[in-house]
Amino acid sequence: MAPDVLSPATLGPLKLRNRIIKAATFEARTPNALVTDDLIDYHRQPAAGGVGMTTVAYCAVSPGGRTGGEQIWMRPEAVPGLRRLTEAVHAEGAAVSAQIGHAGPVADARSNKATALAPVRFFNPIAMRFAKKATRDDIDEVLAAHANAARLAVDAGFDAVEIHLGHNYLGSAFRSPLINRRDDEFGGSLENRAKVARGLVLAVRRAVKGQIAVTAKLNMADGIRGGITTDEALTTAKWLEEDGGLDAIELTAGSSLVNPMYLFRGDAPVKEFAGVFKPPLRWGMRLTGKKFLREYPYREAYLLREAKLFRAELKMPLILLGGITNRETMDLAMSEGFQFVAMARALLAEPDLINRIAAEGEQVRSACTHCNRCMPTIYTRTRCVITGAPDRGRPLQ
Ligand SMILES: Cc1cc2nc3c(=O)[nH]c(=O)nc-3n(C[C@H](O)[C@H](O)[C@H](O)COP(=O)(O)O)c2cc1C
């Protein structure tokens, strides 16, 4: 029989009170790239609301690995604030993970005031800057920065780190045959293209010395012609399983760079997206927004079909993500053999959703309408525009 999603579970060295993880939703609450009370409250709410674990996003491994210059990057100066955050989450009975990674071609070099890295020289239209082709030394530095970030996460009291290997961030940009046109040991064959992703995982695994859990957010497909396909992703996932560096994989899809709606499905908030940029980017977004934000129909558990292929081929714990909003879908995930579920928008809209589901069961319906107007709020202050959460009681911007 499938386990109860609300029952405790083990994730590597970690015991979680249930099998529900608040997925990464970049918070936009760190104006000085350091923890604020506001950021702590953002994570205290889902912790008090019943999740097993919340995920702090985004904890870049270096200044140039951020998608914006206000994001936290892992450095000793950030640790005291992060420790306050982990203590606040623990006081509510939940665990807390840090999403660590390097945004690669998605990084905003202009706002970071630091060079972005990519498998090849690559133009980022939002940053209006080129990312530099990463050299062997750059790759070694990124590996070391991941190890360092993971050690700092241990110092700060995190229970887990989630390595970002999706959405065309650096690890997945190297895996992409479309972006990675290198002809050296990191390009060409799938084995070569997967080297960076596998190296990042092993660097982190060695650094944490079994003290905390290590997971990765892995693209099953980019949703772009010429990008990562399910077949290739499955082979990569099998290698990651064999390498033994991960306690679980969270399965995702899409590209922040080229096809973001593949991640989310549902309505494309073109007008709201254009509104957060200054001209001429605003005009560009208005003109090309429908293409960039190509719509895909939303359905509950929209990644399940692909994820089941991974479940069938892998033995290790898997986290199902994408369009999980209610008890029935959670039960379905458990019955399909997934060990955990991860939820982003539904918990952004209602941080107390899990407590309500625990109390009232199947009749609880999420307030999230997948209008996706939360997406552009990452440029101001991340929130659900329908419920106002997690800012309830505060005036909305
Ligand atoms: C406002 C917002 C911010 C997000 N920020 C991140 C992020 O920093 N890192 C990441 O890997 N995914 C991020 N995501 C994607 C989610 O983690 C998740 O993959 C996606 O929303 C699908 O899950 P859902 O259907 O439960 O919302 C974000 C999503 C939203 C809505």
385 found inside a domain = no
288 found inside a domain = no
Instruction: Tell me the pLDDT tens digit for each residue of 292-319.
Output: 888 999 999 999 999 999 999 999 999 9
User: Is residue 396 predicted with pLDDT exceeding 50?
Assistant: no
Q: Tell me, what's the pLDDT at 395? A: 43
For residues 292 and 277, give the distance between their C-alpha atoms in angstroms, rounded to a whole number.
15
For residues 278 and 266, give the distance between their C-alpha atoms in angstroms, rounded to a whole number.
25
- Is 263's C-beta closer than 6 angstroms to any atom of ligand 1? yes
Q: Return the best residue to mutate from 72, 219, 304, 345 for the ligand 1 pocket (most ligand atoms within 8 A of CB).
A: 345
Contact 78, 152 (CB under 8 A): yes
Q: Report the catalytic residues.
A: 169
- Is 217's C-beta closer than 6 angstroms to any atom of ligand 1? yes
Q: How confident is the model at residue 291 (pLDDT cuts 50, 70, 90)?
A: confident
Which ligand 1 atom sits nearest the alpha carbon of residue 345?
27
Task: Return the closest-CA partner of residue 329 out of 10, 49, 20.
Answer: 20
358 found inside a domain = yes
267 found inside a domain = no
Q: Tell me, what's the pLDDT at 284? A: 79
169 found inside a domain = yes
How many structural domains compose the chain?
1
Find the domain containing 91 and state its range.
9-257+295-379
Instruction: Tell me the pLDDT tens digit for each residue of 194-227.
Output: 999 999 999 999 999 999 999 999 999 999 999 9
For residues 321 and 167, give the distance between their C-alpha atoms in angstroms, rounded to a whole number.
14
Instruction: Tell me the pLDDT tens digit for each residue of 324-340.
Output: 999 999 999 999 999 99
Tell me the backbone φ, ψ of residue 394, rounded to 5 degrees. -105, 150
Instruction: Tell me the pLDDT tens digit for each residue of 338-362.
Output: 999 999 999 999 999 999 999 999 9
Q: How many CB atoms lie within 10 A of CB 265?
A: 20
Q: How confident is the model at residue 397 (pLDDT cuts 50, 70, 90)?
A: very low
- Give the whole-number percent of the chain exceeding pLDDT 70: 98
Residue 274 vs residues 168, 201, 307, 397: alpha-carbon distances, Å: 22, 36, 32, 16
395 vs 24 pLDDT, higher one: 24
- Is 239's C-beta closer than 6 angstroms to any atom of ligand 1? no
- Is 345's C-beta closer than 6 angstroms to any atom of ligand 1? yes
273 found inside a domain = no
Instruction: Tell me the pLDDT tens digit for each residue of 109-154.
Output: 999 999 999 999 999 988 899 999 999 999 999 999 999 999 999 9
CATH assignment at residue 122: 3.20.20.70
Q: Considering only CA atoms, which residue is closest to atom 10 of ligand 1?
A: 24
344 found inside a domain = yes
For residues 34 and 98, give the distance between their C-alpha atoms in angstroms, rounded to a whole number.
14
Contact 266, 345 (CB under 8 A): no
